[in-house]
């Protein structure tokens, strides 16, 4: 059933060279232009996130504005105001399919990325040019399974301690 969703499933994440994506339930870096990229890319889309990722978002930004927020949790009584709460990634994907979404974004954390990676058609990765200490990691991807579609470099500057690239990958089996 999930193989026939007929929508693009995209993962979006910022990852260091060692695949760190978080530390102490927060981002281990401050990259304002990456945050702007994330907000612009996911705007007007459904986004799926795990409960811990949802709870890591500062309360004043919850739910993420201008997008439909879906929170995946095993907690039966979990409540997230103005969000859809589901108990599996599959249930979240079905909500988006039922709403006729063309593309849905999986926005983390680690466990949700791991579950979503085999289903993904696209990866929007901000590849940070540094090894950064973290306790949460993006799953390793087989580069042979993906084609790089675009890459835009962003140098380190007064507001960004690290250089990084905005990279779009498409799964080779998804390319027509």
> Domains in the chain, please, with CATH?
2-174 (3.40.430.10)
The residues, any chain, with a CB within 8 Å of residue 117's CB and separated by 6 or more, are 11, 139, 141
pLDDT, position 75: 94
Rounded to two decimals, the pTM is 0.94
**Cβ atoms < 10 Å from Cβ of 50:** 22
Radius of gyration of the chain (CA): 16
CA-wise closest residue to 82 among 63, 66, 67: 63
pLDDT tens across 117-128, in order? 999 999 999 999
Q: Report the percentage of the chain scoring pLDDT > 70.
A: 95
Average per-residue pLDDT in the chain? 94
- Check residue 126 and report its DSSP letter: E
pLDDT tens across 161-176, in order? 999 999 999 999 865 4
Instruction: Supply the DSSP string of 19-46, one letter for each residue.
Output: -EEEBTTB-SS--HHHHHHHHHHHTTSE
Sign of CA dihedral 133, 136, 55, 94: positive
């Amino acid at each position: 059933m999930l193989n026939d969703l007929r929508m693009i499933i995209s993962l979006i994440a910022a990852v260091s060279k060692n695949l760190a994506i978080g530390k102490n339930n927060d981002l281990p870096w401050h990259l304002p232009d990456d945050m702007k990229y994330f907000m612009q890319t996911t705007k007007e889309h459904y986004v799926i996130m795990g409960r811990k990722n949802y709870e890591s978002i500062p309360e004043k930004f919850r739910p993420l504005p201008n997008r439909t927020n879906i929170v995946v949790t095993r907690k039966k009584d979990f409540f997230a105001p103005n969000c859809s709460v589901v108990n599996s990634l599959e249930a979240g994907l079905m909500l988006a399919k039922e709403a006729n979404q063309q593309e849905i974004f999986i926005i983390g954390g680690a466990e949700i990325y791991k579950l979503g990676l085999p289903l993904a058609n696209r990866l929007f990765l901000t590849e940070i040019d540094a090894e950064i200490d973290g306790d949460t990691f993006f799953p390793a991807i087989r580069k042979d399974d993906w084609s790089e579609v675009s890459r835009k470099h962003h140098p380190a500057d007064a507001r960004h301690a690290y250089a990084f690239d905005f990279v779009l990958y498409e799964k080779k089996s998804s390319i027509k």
